[in-house]
Amino acid sequence: MDFLPDAIVTCILVYVTNAKDVASASCVSKRWKESIPYLNKLVFHRNIFDDVKRFSPDEIIEQMVSSINKLEELVVYCPFSGSGLASWLSMAGHSLQKLELKMDDNLIDLNSCSRKLDSIGAATNLESLKLWGVNMTRGPKWHTFHKLKNLEIVGAVTDDSNLRAALGACPNLSNLLLLGCEGVTDVFIELPHLEKCKLDFNGLGNCSLTVNSRNLQHLEVQGFSGIRVLETQFLRDLIIANTAGRVSALDFGKLVALESLEMRGVQWCWHAIHYMLQLASEVKHLLMKVEFTGDFDALQPFPEIDIVDFFNSHPKLTKFEIHGAMFAALCQRNSLRNVDSRFMIPCLEEVVVTVRSPLNAEQKMSTLESLINYGKKLRKMRIRILQMKSSHSSTDDFFEDICKFTHSHRRIVSIE
């Protein structure tokens, strides 16, 4: 080992990031032990200290962190204390660029959680911060992270003001991910450099969201009933979902750059659906997985949708995924009333249809035939049959019709 060129030793050590492997590598040879200070990443896995009795995890982590000259990335999944974290970051905080911490070892002890959060402020040069299991019911005492571009928090308990304070300390974020967060009702995000944002909030699905980020390109939200996005000129991908509540109020600027739109949830108000479909006239990929509409608690089916008007209003649509209620709305008796010889679906290449009921079987088969006949560029249609009630008298006949349809267009159509 002592005869290996420096370049090869360096190349090997780049892949040695697990703290346990680093400790073992230092025993390989004197040459390798002398190379440990030049590592730039350490990872402490969840159960790494299960068999260690002589020293505490805080002491071992501190010793290893202090042995590295310029630590750039630190990942800690094992339990640690607030005082331990403060000690490591006092030594390595000036060089750290990426920090990932699993902090949920004691969510009940609010003081301990606050100390941990406050300690992170010592790593002033962070570019990426990832936190798991955070009690943020007290605002973190952070100075401004001017270099922080990526912030990811999974499983946080917080409130509106403390979340806003935490985001305010990160003014230059380009990527924000908040998953499984609880305790908020009104989220306001104003980050001028934000490009990608994913928000998933637990609860009754009645939160409200306002985003003011002029460079926003990708937005994915779950758990909000009211959504307002002020700057949308660069927004390319938009996903709106609400599995617990009702999507009722939407306010977006012009979606001139939007290429992909996904609408998911149990219930949306019809005016919200209609509003988004009107705005997304230039969209290329559209997924509709909303089961019911209705402005109040009563669940209502979709109204009829004219298939000609729909595709004329979305001329660039290349991939269309239709689930349940939307497909049923396109399959009403009057949905094909405006079809004539000049009608054409110009860009549609792929269709995914989810069928859940044999009701209106004749109209559904007509709609499938129309998509084949008028979709001049259609090359793939997948029909998914999901939870169809076999007790219904027409189920077998409908399934047989689908099989015949699939056989007639076997180069394009398949059943899942």
Q: What whole-number distance in Å separates Cα of residue 172 and Cα of residue 181?
A: 22
Q: Is the distance from CB of 161 to CB of 141 less than 8 angstroms?
A: no
Q: Distance between CA atoms of 349 and 336, rounded to whole angstroms?
A: 20
408 within some domain: yes
Q: Which residues contact 7 (CB under 8 A, 6 or more apart)?
A: none
Q: What per-residue confidence (pLDDT) applies to 230?
A: 92
Residue range(s) defining the domain that contains residue 389: 301-415
With respect to residue 334, please indicate whether it lies within any of the assigned structural domains.
yes
Question: What pLDDT shows up at residue 120?
Answer: 94
- pLDDT confidence of residue 87: 93
Strands in 136-235 per DSSP E? 150-157, 175-181, 186-189, 196-201, 207-211, 218-222, 224-229
Residue 26: inside a domain: no
Q: What single-letter DSSP state applies at residue 304? A: P
**Are 345 and 381 contacting, i.e. CB atoms less than 8 angstroms apart?**
no
Sequence-distant (6+) residues with CB within 8 A of 284 are 259, 260, 316, 317, 318, 319, 347
H-run or E-run covering 354 = strand 350-355
- The residue written with tokens 């008028």 in the block is 374
First to last CA, the chain: 56
Separation of alpha carbons 26 and 28, rounded Å: 6
Tell me if 238 is assigned to some domain: no
Q: How far apart are CA 277 and CA 5, in angstroms?
A: 62
Q: Which of 310, 349, 316 is nearest to 331 (CA)?
A: 310
Looking at the domain assignment, is residue 351 inside a domain? yes
Residue of 154, 162, 108, 150 whose CA lies nearest to 133: 154
* Residue 393 domain-assigned (yes or no): yes
Given a contact cutoff of 8 angstroms between Cβ atoms, the answer to whether 87 and 74 are in contact is no
Cα–Cα nearest to 188, from 224, 171, 212: 212
Helices 57-66 and 82-92, interaxial angle, to 10°? Answer: 0
Total tally of structural domains belonging to the chain: 1
pLDDT tens across the length of the chain (416 residues) = 566 777 777 677 777 778 787 777 777 777 777 777 888 899 999 888 777 777 788 888 999 899 899 999 999 999 888 889 999 999 998 999 999 999 875 555 667 778 889 999 999 999 999 999 998 888 888 989 999 999 999 999 999 999 999 999 999 999 999 999 999 999 999 999 999 999 999 988 899 999 999 999 999 999 999 999 999 999 999 999 999 999 999 999 999 999 999 999 999 999 999 999 999 999 999 999 999 999 888 889 899 888 889 999 999 999 999 987 888 888 766 766 767 778 899 999 999 999 888 888 888 898 999 999 999 999 999 999 887 765 666 788 888 999 999 999 999 999 98
Q: Please list, in sequence order, all residues whose beta carbon lies within 8 angstroms of the beta carbon of residue 115, skipping any fewer than 6 positions away.
A: 82, 83, 85, 86
Q: What is the C-alpha to C-alpha distance for residues 393 and 67, in angstroms, rounded to an integer? A: 74
Length of the chain: 416
Q: What pLDDT does 201 receive?
A: 94
Give domain status of residue 339, yes or no. Answer: yes
183 contact partners, CB below 8 Å, separation of at least 6:
137, 157, 158, 159
Q: Which residue has the tokens 């108000």?
A: 269
Whether 372 is covered by a domain: the verdict is yes
Pairing state between β 350-355 and 380-385: parallel
Question: In this structure, what DSSP letter does residue 296 have?
Answer: S
User: Please, how many CA atoms are within 13 Å of residue 121, restricted to the half-sphere of its CB?
Assistant: 13
How far is residue 149's CA from residue 192's CA, in Å, rounded to a whole number?
A: 12
